[in-house]
């Protein structure tokens, strides 16, 4: 079975979510190929070639692939896809943007947010914000699938490098142009890749409140997340949001502070290995998914936590 994985990257490094998609691909077939479309992204193609299980990398270069529009990427992928049984991409805003376009042009259904493969044509995916999981059977000749990265381990590096073949770029479509990107600059690890996430909710009270979390995150080398309420209140930028419609995270440790735990938020973090909840409201739903619950005022607890962490981690 042949599988095409569309790599997510920033023209310099291969995104970790791509490695998870490759793991899913290897479970589906023995002929796994990766498409790296970008601008000045040879290093990414080389990195993809070194991933275990990858048999061939197709590398396509064009200025308009630097930040490709869904229109341009879908046109490139659709042409390739007809020779494959599976087309995979990470279920991120990157994959979610162009992959349905590919499926529609191919006149096939798309399977969003794959979390488990039961058989070559049977897939498991969450629905209703993760409050239910559906097992679906695909009747299509080409199965277009977005992969939830937290459900699959990152593929390791292999012993040998796969060949890299150049794929000719397609012309830029005038349907859409990227005018600008405003990316949040942060020294901290990327939210979806971090081993530890410290997240705050409306209980943080203000943008200043989040400073308390930053101190904890600095101690732990953690990423900072937020509930929708905190983002809507303007405490943090929207790309901090964890939840059904934000980012899906599954770190080793998730510390939820001042987050009540709406189902939409739980949907984004309930696969975390260990969950700590700090909230003064004993009835907060977050405590139902917490491994360790601390019922207390966060403004008193966070400075104490910072002190304690610096004490024990310094040892």
Window 204 to 243, contacts with other proteins (CB under 8 A): 220, 228, 231-232, 237-239
Q: What is the dihedral of CA 153, 71, 125, 224, to 10 degrees?
A: 60
- Shortest CB 204 distance to other proteins, Å: 18
Q: Which stretch binds other proteins (CB under 8 A): 53-61, 164-172, 210-218, 271-279?
A: 271-279
Exposure on the CB side of residue 281, measured as CA atoms within 13 A:
14
- 263 is an interface residue for other proteins by CB under 8 A: yes
φ, ψ of residue 113 to 5 degrees: the values are: 60, 50
Chain positions 65 to 104 lying near other proteins, rule: CB under 8 A, are 67, 69-71, 74, 92-94, 96-104
Among 29, 53, 68, 130, binds other proteins (CB under 8 A): 130
Chain positions 138 to 167 lying near other proteins, rule: CB under 8 A, are 138-140
Between residues 42 and 67, which has the closer beta carbon with respect to other proteins? Answer: 67
Residue 19 CA to residue 314 CA, distance in Å, equals 33
Q: Report residue 53 as tokens.
A: 């299980």
Among 38, 53, 126, 200, binds other proteins (CB under 8 A): 126
Q: Do 222 and 188 meet the contact criterion of CB atoms below 8 Å apart?
A: yes
Between residues 137 and 160, which has the closer beta carbon with respect to other proteins? Answer: 137
Among 1, 82, 127, 207, binds other proteins (CB under 8 A): 127
Chain positions 23 to 62 lying near other proteins, rule: CB under 8 A, are none
Q: Report residue 192 as tokens.
A: 């979806």
Burial 20-42 (b: 16+ CB within 10 A, else e): bbbbbbbebbeebbbbbbbeebe
- 187 is an interface residue for other proteins by CB under 8 A: no
């Amino acid at each position: 079975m042949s599988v095409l994985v569309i790599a997510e990257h920033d023209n310099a490094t291969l995104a970790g979510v791509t490695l998870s998609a490759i793991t899913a691909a290897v479970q589906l077939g023995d002929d796994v190929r990766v498409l790296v479309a970008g601008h000045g992204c040879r290093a990414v193609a080389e990195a993809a070639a070194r991933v275990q299980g990858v048999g061939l990398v197709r590398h396509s270069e064009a200025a308009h692939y630097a930040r490709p529009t869904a229109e341009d990427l879908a046109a490139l992928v659709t042409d390739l896809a007809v020779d494959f049984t599976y087309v995979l991409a990470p279920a991120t805003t990157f994959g979610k943007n162009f992959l349905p376009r590919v499926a529609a042009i191919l006149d096939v259904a798309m399977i969003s947010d794959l979390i488990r493969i039961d058989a070559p044509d049977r897939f498991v995916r969450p629905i209703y914000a993760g409050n239910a999981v559906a097992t679906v059977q695909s009747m299509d000749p080409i199965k277009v699938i977005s992969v939830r990265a937290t459900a699959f381990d990152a593929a390791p590096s292999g012993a040998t490098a796969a060949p890299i073949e150049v794929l000719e770029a397609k012309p830029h479509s005038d349907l859409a142009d990227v005018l600008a990107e405003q990316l949040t600059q942060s020294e901290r690890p990327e939210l979806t890749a971090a081993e530890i996430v410290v997240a705050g909710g409306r209980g943080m009270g203000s943008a200043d409140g989040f400073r308390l979390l930053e101190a904890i995150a600095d101690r732990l080398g953690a990423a900072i997340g937020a509930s929708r309420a905190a983002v809507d209140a303007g405490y943090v930028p929207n790309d901090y949001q964890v939840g059904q419609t934000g980012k899906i995270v599954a770190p080793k440790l998730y510390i939820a502070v001042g987050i009540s735990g709406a189902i939409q938020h739980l949907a984004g973090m309930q696969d975390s290995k260990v969950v700590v909840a700090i909230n003064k409201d004993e009835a907060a739903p977050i405590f139902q998914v917490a491994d360790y619950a601390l019922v207390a005022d966060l403004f008193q607890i966070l400075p104490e936590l910072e002190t304690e962490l610096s004490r024990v981690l310094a040892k």
